Amino acid sequence: MTNLGQPRQSGHHIRGSASAPVEGRLFERRSPVSGAVVARYADGTAEDVDRAAQAARAAFDTGPWPRMSGAQRAKILLRWARLIGDNAEELARLEVEEVGKTVRFARGDAAGMADLTEYAATLAYEVHGDAYTNLGERHSAVVHREPMGVVGLIVPWNFPGLIYCQKVPFALAAGNSVVVKPSEFTSATALKLTQLAEEAGVPAGVINVVTGTGPVVGQSLVAHPQVDMISFTGSTAVGRKVLEAAAAGPKRAHVELGSKAANIVFADADLEDALDGTLFGIFFNQGECCVSGARLLVQESIADSFVERLVARTRALRVGDPLDERTDVGALIHGDHLASVVRHVARGQEEGARLLTGGARQDVAGLPEGCFMQLTILDQVSERMAVFQQEIFGPVLVVTRFKDEDEAVALANASSYGLANAVWTRSLDTSIRMARRLRSGTVYVNTQIDGAVQLPFGGCKGSGFGREMGRAGLEEFTQTKSVMVHIGKRVPFFGAKGE
Among 64, 215, 225, 352, binds ligand TXE (CB under 6 A): 215
Pick one of 235, 357, 389, 427: the residue that binds ligand TXE (CB under 6 A): 235
Q: Using CB atoms, what's the residue nearest to ligand TXE?
A: 214
The minimum distance between CB 396 and ligand TXE, in angstroms, equals 12
What residues from 142 to 171 belong to the interface with ligand TXE (CB under 6 A)? Answer: 154-158
286: contact with ligand TXE by CB under 6 A: no
Residue from 176, 183, 189, 431 touching ligand TXE (CB under 6 A): that is 183
What's the CA gap between 316 and 324, in Å, rounded? Answer: 16
Stretch that binds ligand TXE, among 235-243, 366-374, 436-444, 480-488 (CB under 6 A): 235-243
CB of 292 vs ligand TXE, minimal distance in Å: 9
Distance of CA 178 to the CA centre of its chain: 17
List the x/- string, 296-315, binding to ligand TXE by CB under 6 A: --------------------
Please state whether beta strands 177-181 and 150-154 pair in parallel, antiparallel, or not at all (unpaired). Answer: parallel
User: Between residues 157 and 266, which has the closer beta carbon with respect to ligand TXE?
Assistant: 157
Residue nearer to ligand TXE on the CB measure, 95 or 184: 184
Nearer to ligand TXE, 31 or 259 (CB): 259
* 11, 100, 149, 234: which one binds ligand TXE (CB under 6 A): 234
Q: In this complex, which beta carbon is closest to ligand TXE, that of residue 155 or of residue 264?
A: 155
* Residue 423 β-bridge partners: 264, 445
Under the criterion CB under 6 A, does residue 87 sit at the interface with ligand TXE? no
Nearest to 144 by CA among 486, 476, 477, 480: 480
Spatial contact of 31 and 100, defined as CB atoms under 8 Å apart? yes
**Residues with Cβ < 8 Å from 254, sequence gap 6 or more?**
229, 230, 231, 232, 458, 464, 465, 466, 467, 468, 476
Give least dist CB 221 to ligand TXE, A: 7
Q: What is the DSSP string of 59-124?
A: HHHHSSGGGS-HHHHHHHHHHHHHHHHHTHHHHHHHHHHHH---HHHHHHHHHHHHHHHHHHHHHH
Active site residues: 256, 290
The nearer residue to ligand TXE, 49 or 411, going by C-beta atoms, is 49
Crossing angle (nearest 10°) for helices 88-99 and 160-173: 130
* 112 contributes a contact to ligand TXE by CB under 6 A: no
- Nearest distance from residue 415's CB to ligand TXE, in Å? 14
Specify which residues 402 forms β-bridges with.
299
Told to check if 64 binds ligand TXE by CB under 6 A, we report no
Q: Least distance in Å: CB of 225 to ligand TXE?
A: 16
Distance of CA 325 to the CA centre of its chain: 25
257 is a contact residue toward ligand TXE (CB under 6 A): yes
Q: How many CA atoms lie within 13 A of 338 on its CB side?
A: 20
Question: Which long-range contacts link 3-7 to residues 24+ away (Cβ below 8 Å)?
Answer: 3/31, 3/34, 3/36, 3/38, 3/97, 4/38, 4/93, 4/94, 4/97, 7/37, 7/38, 7/39, 7/40
Which one of 214-222, 265-273, 403-411, 424-432 is the stretch in contact with ligand TXE (CB under 6 A)?
A: 214-222
Our finding on whether 109 is near ligand TXE (CB under 6 A) is no
- Strands in 262-265's sheet, in edge-to-edge order, are 354-357, 376-379, 396-402, 295-299, 262-265, 420-424, 442-445
Task: Give the list of residues 6+ apart from residue 437 with CB closer than 8 angstroms, or none.
Answer: 409, 413
| Residues in binding contact with ligand TXE, number by CB under 6 A | 26
- Smallest distance, ligand TXE to C-beta of residue 336, A: 9
Look at residues 377, 414, 384, 419 and name the one whose alpha carbon lies nearest to residue 398: 377
For ligand TXE, which is the closer residue by CB, 158 or 374?
158
One residue of 166, 194, 211, 233 binding ligand TXE per CB under 6 A:
233
Residues that bind ligand TXE (CB under 6 A): 154-158, 181, 183-184, 213-215, 218-219, 222, 233-235, 238, 241-242, 256-258, 290, 391, 393
